[in-house]
Amino acid sequence: MPRSRAALLATILFRARSGARWRVSSFLSRRIYPSAFGAFGAGSVLDRPKIVLGADRIRIGEGCVIARDAWLACEEGGGPIDIGDEVSFAPGVHLHAADPITIGARCSFAESVYVGSADHDPRDHASIRGSGPVVIGDDCFIGLRAVILGGVNVGAGAVIGAHAVVTKDVPAGAVVSGVPARQHAR
């Protein structure tokens, strides 16, 4: 079925706009972000973040792609957030650090993943406190809308299933899913 002229024009305009936005993000990532962040590796691109808080305590490795609407937040006096080389974040990934968050090399994060080492004080909901450091090893895959809470270590090569809530350590190479996340045979 032939496409209408309007549909074809809309497709061309959408691709042109998204390409232009990516070029702007690439320019900012080469020229502006390296001086704002604690470290910003060569070849990394941060595309239209939603929130960046405490950028001086956020270190991004080389060759990373952080898609649009990322939330990278280090609470005052908190963090740091360390992201290894060649890490990819799909849109909407949210990192919130009061205690350190460390992400190994070559990890992939699906859309809307939340990793948090911060929590609200139950006696004072306006106050944020640390909930323990988070360490994610090299070569991990974190599925769609997964949640990794403070005090958790995820071993190298682990797979976290979509919508999983990780409250305990995950062994290297393990596959976990569910609420709370449980290990499955690989």
According to the model, what pLDDT value does residue 23 have? 82
- Mean per-residue pLDDT for 111-139? 90
According to the model, what pLDDT value does residue 7 have? 63
Q: Indicate which CATH number applies to the domain containing 177.
A: 2.160.10.10
184 is catalytic: no
Domain of 161 in residue numbering reads as 5-184
At 22-59, the pLDDT tens digits run 788 888 889 899 999 999 999 999 999 999 999 999 99
According to the model, what pLDDT value does residue 1 have? 42
DSSP-derived 3-state class of residue 158: coil
d(CA 18, CA 157): 32
Out of 96, 120, 125, 184, the active site residue is 120
Q: Is the dihedral of CA 177, 181, 182, 186 positive or negative?
A: positive
Confidence of residue 8 (pLDDT cuts 50, 70, 90): low
At 58-77, the pLDDT tens digits run 999 999 999 999 999 999 98
* Total domains present in the chain: 1
d(CA 165, CA 176): 9
Q: Give the mean pLDDT of the chain.
A: 90
CB-based contact 172:158 (threshold 8 Å): yes
